[in-house]
């Protein structure tokens, strides 16, 4: 058997073994939520469309949970009212897996090409690891929309903005109209000076919201005047699944959490995010902008359930990207790949749930908020800037020139590399001129 064929067979066997191992792990570690959130969505839509009730009056029987998204989300999910329960599950799972797969491909494929990996093999391994990732498996098991929102934002930041497309901002606008929290990416666009994209995103979000209000005026009135402000519908702030800064503060004093302390932490976190986001854009690193803003969104949102932490996935993949771009056997490569491994390991382990019943004491503070610390670490220390040239040509990555931004710990590309192909040099030079 030829060497190439033996390699392919070995890779297929490795993927099969990994898939079996992940399946065994999920059979033990994954919690079966019975598509709880999907049940809420579909139940509210059936109540609204077929039973004549108001969508925001619906509560899942025996619970306090109801439909909490804006009316445009109800419009997007409306076909669910006409699907059977099992049909809704199939659509939900398929959409979640497909959007996650596309995002992973966009972020991982450049790493594969630079490192000389077999691309299908790297992608298959990443999908298996993503299936074990707790926020991802929770998103699928709840029937949540997190990967769809992440995909819409990634279309803008990874595909449209780098090409200076006039459509950049549409994805962020739609995501914001579906669920308000991605609206922080509007602030990201404004803070980093992309005025046209910010205007497009704002116009898209406003247009989608107005369209839903025109179609469903009663639902829009109830959402914006009542349901939006009813915090009792989202759950207990001190619950260990709330891995946000608000959750940290609430767990320190569940009976009387300090709003002032939370606001102070949010202000400091947002200031750090703005500084690092501007540095990322100055370095031409939109992928880092996606990762940083996803992390800060999880931190400053009053409620960030574990399944919302799929927004940390780009940051972990970028750690791998930067690690593989570093010189082989270098301290930087080992440190970054170790950080990605540790972050992924904790975010797969369900460690915070060991403190679900009692999060008091130092151990509860340190380990019951583990995912918050990972979000903060990604926000503060994620490397920024170009990840280097392909490694399969036998050439080491080209070191970036130093700048005021890099002096603050952020690598930045100052000049196009002379070894870069002429067409790519022209594109990089044009981007540097524009910026």
Distance CA 140, CA 408 (A): 39
Q: Using the predicted structure, report yes or no on whether residue 138 has a pLDDT greater than 60.
A: yes
For residue range 167-211, what is the model confidence (pLDDT) as tens digits?
A: 999 999 999 999 999 999 999 999 999 999 999 999 999 999 999
Q: What is the mean pLDDT of residues 70-92?
A: 96
pLDDT number for residue 392: 35
Is the per-residue pLDDT at 427 higher than 80?
Answer: no
Other CB atoms within a 10 A radius of the CB of residue 435 amount to 10
Q: What percent of the chain has pLDDT over 90?
A: 79
pLDDT at 420 over 80: no
Q: What pLDDT, in 10s, does the model give residues 279-303?
A: 999 999 999 999 999 999 999 999 9
pLDDT at 368 over 60: yes
Question: Is residue 410 predicted with pLDDT exceeding 50?
Answer: no
Is residue 394 predicted with pLDDT exceeding 90? no
Q: Which of 31-45, 305-319, 389-403 has the highest mean pLDDT?
A: 305-319
Roughly what angle, to the nearest 10 degrees, separates helices 259-282 and 370-381? 40
Query: Measuring CA to CA, how many Å separate 107 from each of 70, 324, 405?
Result: 30, 13, 24
* Backbone angles phi and psi of 301, in degrees to 5: -65, 135
pLDDT in tens, 370-383: 999 999 999 999 99
Bigger pLDDT: 324 or 433? Answer: 324
Report the alpha-carbon distance of residue 420 to residue 389 in Å, rounded.
Answer: 8
pLDDT mean over 381-391: 74
- Confidence class of residue 227 from pLDDT cuts 50, 70 and 90? confident
Q: What is the mean pLDDT of residues 311-315?
A: 97
């Amino acid at each position: 058997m030829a060497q190439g064929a033996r390699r392919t067979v070995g890779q297929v066997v490795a993927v099969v073994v990994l898939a079996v191992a992940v399946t065994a792990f999920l059979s033990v570690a994954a919690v079966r939520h019975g598509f709880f959130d999907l049940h809420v969505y579909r139940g509210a839509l059936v109540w609204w469309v077929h039973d004549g009730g108001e969508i925001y009056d619906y509560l899942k029987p025996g619970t306090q949970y109801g439909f909490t998204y804006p009316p445009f989300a109800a419009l997007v999910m409306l076909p669910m009212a006409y699907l059977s329960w099992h049909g809704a599950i199939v659509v939900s799972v398929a959409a979640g897996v497909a959007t996650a797969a596309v995002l992973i491909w966009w972020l991982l494929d450049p790493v594969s090409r630079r490192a000389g990996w077999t691309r299908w093999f790297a992608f298959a391994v990443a999908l298996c690891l993503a299936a074990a990732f707790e926020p991802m498996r929770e998103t699928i098991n709840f029937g949540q929309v997190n990967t769809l929102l992440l995909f819409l934002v990634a279309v803008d930041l990874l595909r449209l903005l780098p090409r200076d497309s006039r459509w950049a901002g549409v994805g962020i606008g739609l995501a914001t109209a579906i669920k308000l929290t991605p609206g922080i990416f509007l602030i990201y666009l404004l803070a980093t000076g992309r005025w046209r994209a910010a205007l497009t995103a704002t116009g898209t979000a406003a247009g989608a919201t107005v369209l839903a209000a025109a179609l469903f005026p009663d639902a829009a009135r109830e959402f914006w005047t009542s349901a939006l402000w009813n915090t009792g519908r989202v759950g207990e702030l001190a619950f260990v699944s709330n891995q946000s800064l608000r959750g940290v503060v609430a767990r320190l004093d569940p009976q009387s959490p300090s709003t002032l302390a939370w606001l102070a932490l949010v202000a400091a976190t947002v200031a750090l995010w703005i500084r690092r986001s501007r540095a990322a854009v100055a370095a031409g690193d939109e992928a880092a902008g996606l990762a940083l803003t996803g992390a800060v969104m999880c931190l400053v949102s009053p409620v960030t359930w574990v399944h919302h932490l799929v927004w940390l996935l780009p940051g972990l993949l970028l750690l791998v990207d930067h690690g593989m771009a570093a010189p082989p056997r270098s301290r930087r490569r080992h440190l970054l790949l170790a950080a990605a491994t540790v972050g992924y390991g904790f975010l797969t382990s369900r460690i915070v749930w060991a403190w679900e019943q009692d999060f008091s004491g130092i151990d509860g503070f340190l380990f019951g908020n583990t995912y918050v610390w990972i979000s903060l670490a990604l926000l503060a220390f994620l490397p920024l800037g170009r990840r280097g040239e392909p490694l399969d040509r036998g050439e080491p990555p080209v070191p970036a020139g130093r700048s005021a931004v890099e002096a603050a710990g952020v690598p930045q590309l100052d000049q196009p590399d002379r070894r870069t192909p002429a067409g790519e040099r022209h594109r990089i030079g044009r981007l540097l001129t524009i910026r």
